[in-house]
Amino acid sequence: MSSSDGPQPGVPDVGRDVDAMVDEETADAREELSKTDHNTDLGIAMAADAKRVSRGELSAEAYWERYDEAAEREFGDAYRETPNPSIESADQTIDAGVADSMSCSVGSMGSVACDLPADGDAVDAGTDGDETGGDERWGMVIDLEKCVGCDSCTVACKAENRTPPGVSYNVVMEEEHGEFPDVTRTNVPRPCMQCENPPCVQVCPVSATYKMDNGVVNVDYDRCIGCRYCMIACPYGARYFDFGENYDDEVAEAGEVTSPEYGVDRGEREDGESPVGNVRKCSFCTHRLERGEEPACVETCIGDARNMGDLDDPDSEVSEMADSSRAFQLKEHEGTDPNVYYLK
Amino acid sequence: MATDHSRFEFDPGFVSDRLRVAWYAFVGVLLLAGGYATYLRITRGMASTNLTSTTPWGAWVAFYIYFVGLSAGAFLVSTLANVFGVEAMHRIDRDALFAAIVSMVVALLFVWTDLGRMDRMYHPFVWRQFTSALSWEVHAYVAYIGVLVTELYFSMRYDLARVAERGSGLRARISGLLTLGRRATTEASRAADRTWLKRAGVVGIPLAIFMVHGGTGVLFAVSKARPYWNSGLFPVIFIVSAVLSGTALVLVLYVLRTRLFDDEPVDRDLLDQLAKLLAAFVVVDVALTAIEALISIVSFHPHVVETWQIIAFGEMSWSFWWFMVGFGWVFPLVLLSKREWRRTPWLMALAGLSVVIGIVAVRFNIVVPPQIRPVMEGLPHGSYFPTAVEWATSAGMIAVGLLLYTIGAELLPLTPLDGGDH
């Protein structure tokens, strides 16, 4: 970058000393720590040494040997009962001898988060096996007036869920009406409807597909026998059989990365291993919902036509949209009561 | 072997050794081809089929419901003798029962091959779904096979005991084992067998009609997403066509086994009875199918109307006109129309064979056409014709059935040793 041209419109000026800007913004440590009831000097000393640990000038073991007793004296039970990330059972970063000598408890930080009281709409991400807020009924509202039929949702879905050839959880059904020049086009994106009365769940002989508390219809890839009865039963054609095909001809190592669908990481895609030979479908990106993120199709929609939210919360945006006079569901006469609504 | 011999020179099986060799060679070739195709099926997975997500069920499902129907039909014919006491039918009741068991085994082979995860075939016995017809069916099939084996045992035990007692060699030893230790050859033991046979039959009839084959019809009929199947008459037609194919099978087996294994003259009266029964079932099957077609077409439900159009005028309409209507209904009805013909064994074997083949097309036309039109406007249309792997695996599984039946017919007293009159 040439500095002589001076700042260009719309281009950030990084000619200044950016590090100094950071220092300007940083609060004074002594001032901040003095606001608490705890020992300010201890805090400053621990922070300074922690920086040395991260620079590699001090070992983590030495750090904890130096501060374990002081911290226990200062924080008491709160220190003893809180798991220390450096001796977390799954991913310990300090050697066993020092870890054993320390007085704080062993466990994962996740287990602490689990015990915290859920506060309203907060998203406590990272809690194992627990859906986001815990009591949502996820629903989607798709505004057909805003949909331009760009198929971004279909593409985003394939990229997010790494679906193989022939499997496409989301498609856009396109229909042209009228004759030139009076032509209109209707684009109807079709994810899984996550029906309240799902016919697929009703027919599965091994209960491999079932409704979760959050309204999403799950498929247990470890239980599914691949009989495809659910595909016969689905009135929306939303289920796809995984024939084991791959994009290897198009992309090298296409199967190396898979999506942790329903929160289960299955590692690399392999022949004969689930989900090959199973029936697959849209999960509302459960793995993203659990992280407090919107499904990929919702996030990517260029016209903001897709909305995700809690249908059990009458004040949520999706509830209000689903209640509007423009709202309808696909094949309402089937009695399936989809959790995907459309706006005319 | 011949009629004037003592019955205790029990020697069932092919009369002609050349025919035996030719038959086993034929079955062997089918088994080899089927074995290789099954290897491809297992290594390549479901990609070895022409199935798609639009048309997820194909040839294997069609053959599966075909053999379930064949079994239920053959079983119901057997009950004519051992439950309803039609004396003349006693000659064929074991044959019918044994064919029903073999058909069921073949049906389960087909449904197993059809699973995306063949290694998980035991899952339906570990996990269940109360509302799933398929979950119920799997259990009904097991119970039904249990009833069939029980019935065959009670119907055959007396003769097995006699063979074990008075015969010699391998056959006598096998027969002895199959009596399960009940070797009495008294009239009292025979009467007890008949009582239990009848009891098992009484349990078996509703099981076969309502659970096994009616239930298989329900499996399709509950699919509201496929309006072509979603009809109350559908399971009834399933049962009628099952009885039709079963009667035809028993007719064919009776003629062939009497001529080729027992080397006895065919009982013309029995033949005539079976033929009339077959004709009656053809008529009922045609009538009910016509009623079903009429109801669905005048409903003007686009899905149903289009499905019927696919059946009658689509690219596979030859299977409807030639096989279903021709071989299944018209040709056999012509052969069954004259008394003289009904008493001619080879013509009746031909009529039976024609129905047995025609009903295969009935099953294909049940399974495939409703999966051609997509469930939602805007989704891709389906198109399905089985691959070579699907055909060859099917031939192999059918050959397993032929082999099992032939071995059984060569070893077991499937024809009552006193000619069927008690």
Provide the shortest C-alpha distance from residue B34 to chain A (in Å). Answer: 21
pLDDT on residue A111: 60
Q: Which residues contact B298 (CB under 8 A, 6 or more apart)?
A: none
Closest C-alpha to B72, from B233, B241, B196, B251: B241
Interface of A with B in 156-175 (CB under 8 A): 166-167, 171, 173-175
Read off the pTM.
Answer: 0.81
Identify all chain A residues contacting B389, using CB atoms and an 8 Å cutoff: none
CA distance readout (Å), A125 to A118, A128, A136, A295? 11, 9, 14, 15
Identify all chain B residues contacting A224, using CB atoms and an 8 Å cutoff: 116-117, 120
Provide the shortest C-alpha distance from residue A285 to chain B (in Å). Answer: 21
pLDDT on residue A139: 96
Interchain contact B225–A (C-beta under 8 A)? yes
pLDDT on residue B395: 97
Identify all chain A residues contacting B117, using CB atoms and an 8 Å cutoff: 224-226, 274, 277-278
Identify all chain A residues contacting B371, using CB atoms and an 8 Å cutoff: 232
pLDDT on residue A311: 95
Mean predicted confidence (pLDDT) in A207-222: 94
Identify all chain B residues contacting A231, using CB atoms and an 8 Å cutoff: 53, 56
Q: Which of A92-101, A290-299, B355-364 is predicted with the least confidence, judged by mean pLDDT?
A: A92-101
Is pLDDT of A160 > 60?
yes
Right CATH number for A138-343 from 3.30.70.20, 3.40.50.300, 3.40.30.10, 3.40.50.1100? 3.30.70.20
Going residue by residue through chain B, which has 422 residues, state the pLDDT in tens, using 9 for 90 and above.
Answer: 344 444 456 777 888 889 999 999 999 999 999 999 999 999 999 999 999 999 999 999 999 999 999 999 999 999 888 888 888 888 888 999 999 999 999 999 999 999 999 999 999 999 999 999 999 999 999 999 999 999 999 999 999 999 888 887 888 888 999 999 888 888 999 999 999 999 999 999 999 999 998 999 999 999 999 999 999 999 999 999 999 999 999 999 999 988 888 888 899 999 999 999 999 999 999 999 999 999 988 988 888 899 999 999 988 899 999 999 999 999 999 999 999 999 999 999 999 999 999 999 999 999 999 999 999 988 999 999 999 999 999 999 999 999 999 999 988 888 888 744 43
Angle at alpha carbon of residue B113, lines to B112 and B114, rounded to 5°: 90
Nearest to B116 among A226, A233, A271 (CB): A226
Length of chain B: 422
User: What residue has token string 């096996």?
Assistant: A129
- Radius of gyration of chain A, Cα coordinates, nearest whole angstrom: 26
pLDDT on residue A109: 60
Interface of B with A in 184-223 (CB under 8 A): 219, 222-223
Interchain contact B13–A (C-beta under 8 A)? no
Judged on CB neighbours under 10 Å (0-12, 13-18, 19+), A41 is exposed
Higher pLDDT, A204 or B6: A204
Q: Hey, are the CB atoms on B124 and A205 less than 8 Å from each other?
A: yes
Interchain contact B40–A (C-beta under 8 A)? no
DSSP conformation class of B379: B
**Token digits for A204?**
């599965």
Q: Hey, are the CB atoms on B117 and A229 less than 8 Å from each other?
A: no
Angle at alpha carbon of residue A175, lines to A171 and A179, rounded to 5°: 160
Q: Is A141 helix (H, G, I), strand (E, B) or coil?
A: strand
Contact A293, A149 (CB under 8 A): no
Identify all chain A residues contacting B215, using CB atoms and an 8 Å cutoff: none
Interface of A with B in 183-212 (CB under 8 A): 188, 190, 199, 201-208
Interchain contact A85–B (C-beta under 8 A)? no
Identify all chain B residues contacting A201, using CB atoms and an 8 Å cutoff: 129
Provide the shortest C-alpha distance from residue A193 to chain B (in Å). Answer: 13
Mean predicted confidence (pLDDT) in A313-338: 94
- The ipTM is 0.91
Q: Hey, are the CB atoms on B129 and A237 less than 8 Å from each other?
A: no
Q: Which residues contact A67 (CB under 8 A, 6 or more apart)?
A: A42, A46, A49
pLDDT band at A246 (very low <50, low <70, confident <90, very high): very high
d(CA A45, CA B121): 64
Q: Give tens-digit pLDDT for A47-88.
A: 889 888 888 888 888 888 888 888 888 888 888 877 777 776
Q: Give tens-digit pLDDT for A15-28.
A: 667 778 788 888 88
Average pLDDT value over all residues in chain A: 85
Closest C-alpha to A140, from A75, A223, A217: A217
pLDDT on residue A15: 66
User: What residue has token string 């098992």?
Assistant: B200
Q: Hey, are the CB atoms on B376 and A204 less than 8 Å from each other?
A: no
Interchain contact A150–B (C-beta under 8 A)? no
pLDDT on residue A107: 65
Q: Which domains does chain B have, with CATH numbers?
A: 18-411 (1.20.1630.10)
Is pLDDT of A127 > 70?
no
pLDDT on residue A116: 55
Is pLDDT of A186 > 80?
yes
CA distance readout (Å), B103 to B110, B291, B392, B408? 11, 29, 18, 13
d(CA B108, CA A300): 46
Bridge partner list, B377: B379
Is pLDDT of A256 > 50?
yes
Cis-peptide, bond into residue B265, ω within 30° of zero: no
Interchain contact A50–B (C-beta under 8 A)? no
Is pLDDT of A339 > 90?
yes
**Token digits for B325?**
């209507």
Provide the shortest C-alpha distance from residue A288 to chain B (in Å). Answer: 26
Q: What residues does each domain of chain A span?
A: 22-114, 138-343
Provide the shortest C-alpha distance from residue B36 to chain A (in Å). Answer: 19
Identify all chain B residues contacting A163, using CB atoms and an 8 Å cutoff: none
Identify all chain B residues contacting A239, using CB atoms and an 8 Å cutoff: 53
Q: Hey, are the CB atoms on B128 and A205 less than 8 Å from each other?
A: yes
Strand pairing class (A217-219; A209-211): antiparallel
Identify all chain A residues contacting B228, using CB atoms and an 8 Å cutoff: none
Is pLDDT of A128 > 50?
no
d(CA B394, CA B218): 24
